[in-house]
Structure 1
Amino acid sequence: MGMSVTISAASAQDAEHILKLQYLCYQTEAGLYGDYGIEPLTQSLDDLKAELAQGHALVARLGDEVVASVRGRVDEAGTARLARLIVHPRLQRHGLGGRLLDAIEERFAGEPGAKRFQLFTGHRSESNLRLYRSRGYVPVASEQVGPKLTLVTLQKEAPTRAYVASA
Structure 2
Amino acid sequence: MGMSVTISAATAQDAEQILKLQYLCYQSEAELYGDWRIEPLTQTLGDLRAELERGHGLVARLGDEVVASVRAEADEAGTVHIAKLIVHPRLRRHGLGGRLLDAIEQHYAAGARPAAKRYQLFTGHRSDGNLRLYRSRGYEQIGTREVGPRLTLVTLEKAA
- Is the shorter-chain TM-score for this pair beyond 0.5, marking a shared fold? yes
TM-score bucket (shorter structure): over 0.9
State the alpha-carbon separation in 1 of the partners of residues 22 and 115 from structure 2: 29
Percent sequence identity over matched residues? 75
- The structural deviation recorded for 1:92 is 0.1
Task: Write the mapping of 1:9-48 to structure 2, written as runs, cut at 5 A.
Answer: 9-48=9-48
2:159 is aligned with 1:144: no
One-letter amino acid of the counterpart of residue 29, structure 1: E
State the alpha-carbon separation in 2 of the partners of residues 52 and 116 from structure 1: 20
State the alpha-carbon separation in 2 of the partners of residues 30 and 77 from structure 1: 32
State the alpha-carbon separation in 1 of the partners of residues 81 and 22 from structure 2: 18
Task: Write the mapping of 1:61-76 to structure 2, written as runs, cut at 5 A.
Answer: 61-76=61-76
- The structural deviation recorded for 1:139 is 0.2
Q: What SS does structure 2 have at the residue aligned with 1:90?
A: helix
2:115 alignment counterpart? 113
State the alpha-carbon separation in 2 of the partners of residues 78 and 48 from structure 1: 22
Number of residue pairs aligned between Structure 1 and Structure 2: 158
Off by >6 Å, runs of 4+ in structure 1: none
- The structural deviation recorded for 1:65 is 0.2
- The structural deviation recorded for 1:76 is 1.0
Task: Write the mapping of 1:95-106 to structure 2, written as runs, cut at 5 A.
Answer: 95-106=95-106
State the alpha-carbon separation in 2 of the partners of residues 108 and 122 from structure 1: 25
- The structural deviation recorded for 1:6 is 0.1
Q: What SS does structure 2 have at the residue aligned with 1:148?
A: coil
Structure 2 alignment gaps of length 5 or more: none
1:60 alignment counterpart? 60
Per the normalisation by structure 1, the TM-score is: 0.94
Greater alpha carbon shift after TM alignment, 37-46 vs 110-119 = 110-119
State the alpha-carbon separation in 1 of the partners of residues 58 and 35 from structure 2: 27
- The structural deviation recorded for 1:77 is 1.0
Q: What SS does structure 2 have at the residue aligned with 1:143?
A: strand
- The structural deviation recorded for 1:113 is 1.7
Q: What SS does structure 1 have at the residue aligned with 2:26?
A: helix
1:90 alignment counterpart? 90
State the alpha-carbon separation in 2 of the partners of residues 47 and 85 from structure 1: 16
